[in-house]
Chains A and B, each alone.
Chain A
Amino acid sequence: MQEPPKLLRVENLQTHIFLRRGVVRAVDGIDLELAAGETLGIIGESGSGKTMTCLSLLRLLPKAGGRIVAGRVLLDGTDLTQVPEAEMARDWRGRRIAMVSQDPLTALNPVFTIGDQVGGPLRYHHLANGRAAVRKAVTAVLRRVRIPSAETRLDDYPHQFSGGMRQRAVIGMAIASAPRLLIADEPTSNLDVTIQVQMIELFRDIQRETGVGIILITHDLGVAASLCDRIAVMYAGRIVETGPVRAIYRNPAHPYTQALLAAIPHLGQKRTRLLAIPGQPPSLIDPPAGCRFAARCAHATPRCTEAYPPDVTVASGHVAACWLAQAGERTAAA
């Protein structure tokens, strides 16, 4: 029996940043899979490599020093790490993979109208030609991101839009070219909760309408739970646990995931002491040989600091990289 081909398959991706003081192993051998119409959440702290992972997929790494040193990124079967830059710009980046960045204010140019900017990818990729056709297509895109009176608002400048409307326009820019894969880097973290919930709804609607695969990068465990089908937890450049969203939240197998869930206050649980995770993540210039979380882990054994743990399948589709994880069941303590 053959599985349906995945939209995206990332194999052993390694992205290093070469600095004068050493090599930062920002992404250090990760595997990811995403099907069309599916949302994968990448959860991690700042410096865990989640943004570098996505910039690697788009091949938008910092020119000074960032480089994919190993691995493959297969989108619809094409290895993007091998595609020439001209083809990447013409057929892939902003066309079949698009990105929504965190801050809608800096993502929009203040001196061009919303219509000009949302129409940018349509003109660049020749998806609409001629003033009238672009205008019509932009209006349709703005309607799709639920901007009221789209046909007149496209002549507005970004400062005439509210924060929530700007973020809708930025999402519109990303989906204008009908991409296969949408990467959203903290798309809601600067927004108020009442706007955040509207954006979560919008992402879900767009996915239902277009079947786009979404990678959501976030540090917010609440947003990830509301939007994702599967979760990958990153820590210090590696994926430590991946699985269906329910398994990750109900039966987290990796002590880091368990600790993260215990470290945040939950609504409805009043004034219990939070379980703080001691210490901080290791430097990625010379990461420890063993499990990178071992120094902060309450369950660490000598073996944990000696060798990197293997991937253990704790349940179907649920994998944790932990010496203590038991195949088919989860670790004892939470």
Chain B
Amino acid sequence: MTAPLLELRDVKKHFPVEAGMFGARASVRAVDGVSLAVAPGETFALVGESGCGKTTIAKLVLLLEPLTAGSILFDGTDLATATAAQRKAYRRQAQAVFQDPYSSLNPRLKIGTIIAEPILAHQRPGRAALAARIAELLDIVGLPAGAAELYPHEFSGGQRQRIAIARGLAINPRFMVLDEPISALDVSIRAQVLNLLADIQQRFGLTYLIIAHDLALVEHFSTTVAVMYLGAIVETGPTEAVFANPAHPYTRALLASVPRPDPDHRPEAGVIHGEIASALAPPPGCKFHPRCPLATDRCRHDVPAVTQLSTGPGTTPHWAACHLIGT
């Protein structure tokens, strides 16, 4: 495997909260020891239910929240110990597209100003060069140059997401975090935006970290996937391998639960019970054991170690953290 562009090493993020009547301190362990490596040019997907910590990871990677422990490396540089100049250089190379294009664009700014903001934060182009760059970006995302003079409310959801993508591309990043980029859009618009994201990835050699809950989208769009549950990765590997041979009972339950656009397919109820536990007091042992249909005594007490599954040389390893693999 080539050197990763982005690497997370045992990353933890705990949010302190006041619990109980006397202000006893506790903490929500939103991310609790996550390690992953994103190779250049790939699309790495984080999937899981709400509360699993996937959005917290996106925020940590974008330096919007400080880490509690662990380290994040971009192109070999540890961002925690990086100099201010290195961090600024990283911010230029890492951009984001968020879920809701209705709240991610300032309603008081013209589209041209919105797209110019990241450029002006990092460069000092002349007026003409800036206007030309904005027109070029609008063209890349399939909007007319005249859009620069309009305001966000004059666009539909799909067009707004295109504007958000243009803003993300403005300073030629190498890496983009896509946080649920299509889930706020209408079904008939989603494919347009997804295809656009695939096109610009190829055209500009971008690396994507996509946060999503839609498994069909993840299978379609990503090269590597990590399934998260209560702040930890329970299974990860090449998307094809994980979807073809899911090893962790949680991954299997997720796949079995997806309602499919096929009237003869019934999602399996009963493979998974209850709901995700609180990250304030995660269950001991395997965090998934209270919902796992296969849980044994060992699952209730011991944290499962990582089991490597079939891998070839030079490929992304496929592993899962479950006591029951191979038993």
Chain A interface (Cβ < 8 Å from any Cβ of B) = 45-46, 162-165, 192-198, 200-201, 219-226, 245-246, 249-250, 259-261, 263-278, 280-281, 296
The answer on a CB contact under 8 Å between A267 and B194 is: no
The answer on a CB contact under 8 Å between B190 and A267 is: no
Chain B interface (Cβ < 8 Å from any Cβ of A) = 49-50, 156-159, 186-192, 194-195, 198, 213-217, 219-221, 239-240, 243, 253-255, 257-269, 272, 275-276, 291
User: In the assembly, what is the distance between CA of A225 and CA of B261, in Å?
Assistant: 5
Across-interface contacts of B239 in A (CB, < 8 A): 270
Across-interface contacts of B158 in A (CB, < 8 A): 280
Which 7 residue pairs are nearest across A and B when measured between Cβ atoms? A222-B259, A265-B220, A274-B191, A192-B49, A276-B191, A45-B186, A221-B261
Across-interface contacts of B272 in A (CB, < 8 A): 194, 197
Across-interface contacts of B187 in A (CB, < 8 A): 45, 219, 221, 260, 263-264
The answer on a CB contact under 8 Å between A266 and B260 is: yes
The answer on a CB contact under 8 Å between A249 and B263 is: yes
The distance from the CB of B130 to the nearest CB of chain A, in whole angstroms, is: 29
Beyond A193-B215, A194-B291, A264-B190, 16 extra complex contacts between A and B, CB < 8 Å: A45-B189, A194-B254, A197-B267, A200-B267, A220-B259, A226-B260, A260-B188, A263-B191, A264-B191, A265-B220, A265-B221, A267-B216, A267-B219, A270-B240, A271-B221, A272-B220
Across-interface contacts of A162 in B (CB, < 8 A): 275
The answer on a CB contact under 8 Å between B188 and A277 is: yes
The distance from the CB of B232 to the nearest CB of chain A, in whole angstroms, is: 17
User: In the assembly, what is the distance between CA of A270 and CA of B243, in Å?
Assistant: 10
The answer on a CB contact under 8 Å between A225 and B192 is: no
The answer on a CB contact under 8 Å between B219 and A270 is: yes
Across-interface contacts of A196 in B (CB, < 8 A): 257, 259, 267
State whether A222 and B269 are in contact (beta carbons under 8 Å apart), knowing that A260-B188, A267-B219, A280-B189 are contacts in the complex: no
The answer on a CB contact under 8 Å between A263 and B269 is: no
Across-interface contacts of A164 in B (CB, < 8 A): 275
The answer on a CB contact under 8 Å between B262 and A249 is: yes
User: In the assembly, what is the distance between CA of A259 and CA of B189, in Å?
Assistant: 11
Across-interface contacts of A276 in B (CB, < 8 A): 191-192, 194-195
The distance from the CB of A227 to the nearest CB of chain B, in whole angstroms, is: 8
The distance from the CB of A183 to the nearest CB of chain B, in whole angstroms, is: 20
Q: List 22 A-B contacts (CB under 8 A).
A: A46-B157, A163-B50, A163-B275, A165-B275, A194-B257, A197-B268, A197-B269, A201-B269, A221-B261, A225-B260, A226-B263, A226-B267, A245-B263, A249-B262, A264-B191, A267-B243, A273-B195, A274-B191, A277-B188, A277-B189, A280-B156, A280-B159
